[in-house]
């Protein structure tokens, strides 16, 4: 049993999440976790650190085999070695893939609200964001669903060339079902739109839900993933791009080189291998802990925070909460920070219109931290 209740002091370690937060404020914003990484990863890093040279790094065959084995074992997805490229992160990877697949002025469809860097990556590539707004569905306890007519109309737009999917979905916590993914794929094929799927959250799945890799439905989709989010090693900066088509892969590889995001540090592949080869039990226990945190939040909100409606969280560790009758969410999150000393993200970061009325809460923290934050919020709402 791993101890996710342990509180680890992160202030003073150059930690974005804590050191950017004013003294006394509990940060529940940026998506990293306050948990120690799996022991196998710590040990692998320690061993690598003992070798006193940290120079340019080759990524060995065993790294690729770790990825192939993990996705076969955990997600029944067969990946061919030659289809894998690596780069310094999922966001740099998205930027390269968009460069390879689009021309400036083209449209990229996303399901809004959506991960904030999607907006900037699309714009930085000279493309236009086409937001298909997710609809809250009342007969599935408020879960968000695709507005299929709107999605198809956007894909049918002759300027649209790419659909950038977040699977599972940050910030709404949706784990798209096989049927939904199939429908997205059918529409994209019909209108000759390429699918790019960011699957960085794919290990963070709550019970009763199953992650389906988009490539198992649509082998032409370009997939981005990394153990970084689920194993809390994002600071090591490495991600993988899986692309079956040789010509597309060549173009992506070229973009990786042009963008100069082709070299990784010596610790990243070592940590990635320890995650995929030796930390399976850890990730299972982590998901169970996060799920308990989610239930803790729901129970607390039901009892003490009447204006909070917590959306179903099927995956990720990011709760998406509707705030009723609290006015503007930017002002609301500012009040949370100033008065309750808790930093949560306003939904408008994930869609100026689609995120109105929502906040995003990072639940990847010890339960005591979560409860302390909720108590503080309860106290200012009296
Ligand atoms: C959907 C999604 N993609 C990518 C990232 C960041 O990936 P990276 O740090 O590898 O660039 C995040 C971080 O929160 C994310 O939520």
**In contact, 64 and 274? CB cutoff 8 Å:** no
Q: What percent of the chain has pLDDT over 70?
A: 99
Whether 332 and 346 have beta carbons less than 8 Å apart is answered as yes
Q: What is the pLDDT of residues 233-244, one digit of tens each?
A: 999 999 999 999
Q: What is the three-class DSSP state of 22?
A: coil
Q: Is beta strand 345-346 parallel, antiparallel or unpaired with respect to 358-362?
A: antiparallel
Q: Residue 327 — pLDDT band, cuts 50, 70, 90? A: confident
Q: Which residue has the tokens 């692998």?
A: 44
Pocket test for ligand 1, best of 17, 85, 91 (most atoms within 8 A of CB): 91
How does residue 382 score in pLDDT terms, banded at 50, 70 and 90? low
Query: Which residues form ligand 1's pocket by a CB distance below 6 Å?
Result: 31, 89-91, 115, 166, 170, 198, 200, 226, 228, 234, 239
Confidence class for position 265, pLDDT limits 50, 70, 90: very high
Q: 311 with 319: CB under 8 angstroms?
A: yes
Find, among 206, 380, 195, the residue nearest to 293 by Cα: 206
115 CA from centroid of ligand 1 (Å): 8
Give the pair of three-digit tokens for residue 38: 């799996």
Question: Is it true that the peptide bond before 171 is cis, omega within 30 degrees of 0?
Answer: yes
Separation between Cα atoms, residue 201 and residue 198, nearest integer Å? 8
Helices (H), 279-352: 280-304, 329-335
Segment (H or E) for 19: helix 16-19
Overall pTM surpassing 0.95 (yes/no): yes
Residue 284 token pair: 């299972």
Residue 111, beta-bridge partner list? 132
226's tokens: 């990394």
* CA atoms of 24 and 58, how far apart (whole Å): 43
- At residue 138, the pLDDT reads 79
Calculate the average pLDDT of the chain.
97
């Amino acid at each position: 049993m791993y101890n996710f209740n342990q509180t680890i002091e992160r202030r003073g370690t150059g930690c974005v999440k804590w050191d950017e937060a004013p003294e006394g404020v509990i940060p529940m914003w940026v998506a990293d976790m306050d948990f120690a990484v799996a022991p196998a990863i710590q040990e692998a890093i320690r061993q690598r650190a003992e070798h006193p040279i940290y120079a340019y790094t080759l990524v060995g065959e065993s790294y690729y085999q770790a990825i192939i084995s993990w996705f076969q074992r955990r997600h029944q997805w067969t990946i061919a070695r030659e289809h894998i490229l690596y780069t310094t992160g999922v966001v740099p990877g998205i930027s390269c893939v968009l460069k390879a697949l689009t021309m400036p002025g083209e449209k990229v469809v996303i399901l809004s609200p959506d991960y904030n860097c999607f907006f900037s990556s699309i714009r930085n590539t000279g493309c236009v964001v086409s937001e298909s707004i997710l609809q809250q569905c009342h007969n599935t306890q408020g879960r968000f669903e695709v507005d299929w007519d709107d999605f198809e109309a956007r894909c049918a737009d002759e300027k649209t060339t790419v659909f950038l999917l977040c699977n599972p979905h940050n910030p709404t916590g949706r784990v798209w079902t096989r049927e939904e993914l199939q429908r997205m794929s059918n529409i994209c094929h019909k209108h000759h739109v390429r699918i790019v799927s960011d699957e960085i959250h794919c290990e963070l799945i709550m019970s009763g839900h199953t992650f389906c890799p988009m490539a198992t439905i649509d082998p032409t989709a370009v997939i981005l993933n990394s153990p970084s989010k689920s194993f809390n090693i994002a600071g090591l900066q490495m991600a993988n791009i899986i692309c079956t088509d040789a010509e597309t892969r060549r173009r992506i590889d070229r973009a990786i080189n042009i963008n100069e995001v082709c070299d990784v540090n010596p610790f990243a592949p070592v940590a990635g291998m320890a995650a995929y080869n030796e930390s399976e039990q850890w990730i299972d226990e982590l998901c169970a802990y996060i799920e308990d945190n989610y239930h803790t939040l729901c129970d607390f909100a039901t009892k003490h925070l009447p204006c909070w409606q917590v959306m179903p969280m099927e995956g990720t560790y990011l709760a998406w909460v509707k705030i009723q009758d609290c006015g503007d969410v930017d002002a609301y999150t500012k009040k949370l920070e100033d008065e309750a000393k808790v930093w949560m993200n306003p939904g408008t970061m994930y869609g100026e219109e689609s995120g109105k009325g929502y906040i995003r809460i990072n639940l990847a923290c010890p339960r005591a931290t979560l409860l302390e934050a909720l108590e503080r919020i309860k106290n200012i709402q009296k």
